[in-house]
Amino acid sequence: MPDVKRVTSDVWAGSDTRGCSFGSVITGDGIVIIDSHHKSATAMRQKSGIAKRGPLRYIINAGSDN
């Protein structure tokens, strides 16, 4: 399971053993996911957990190949 930590009251960041970094930011308009997890099952759990905190507005996947 990825290690996710609260950075500030509205910013969360995580990583796992394979070097995947990801995070989320809670804004007044909703939540932004930054680099969803590379495993689809974990990304869906990430999305479900975040959705409890407010509406998901954007997912920004920068990717290592971009």
- In this structure, are residues 34 and 60 in contact, taking their beta carbons and an 8 Å threshold? yes
pLDDT of residue 66 exceeding 70: no
Q: Pull the structure tokens for residue 38.
A: 């590379």
Cα gap 38→21, rounded to integer Å: 9
Specify the pTM. 0.74
What is the model's pLDDT at position 64? 62
21-58 pLDDT tens trace: 888 999 999 999 888 777 788 778 878 887 788 899 99
- Which phi-psi region, left, alpha or beta, contains residue 30 (left: φ > 0; alpha: ψ -120 to 50)? left
Neighbour count for residue 35 (Cβ, 10 Å):
19
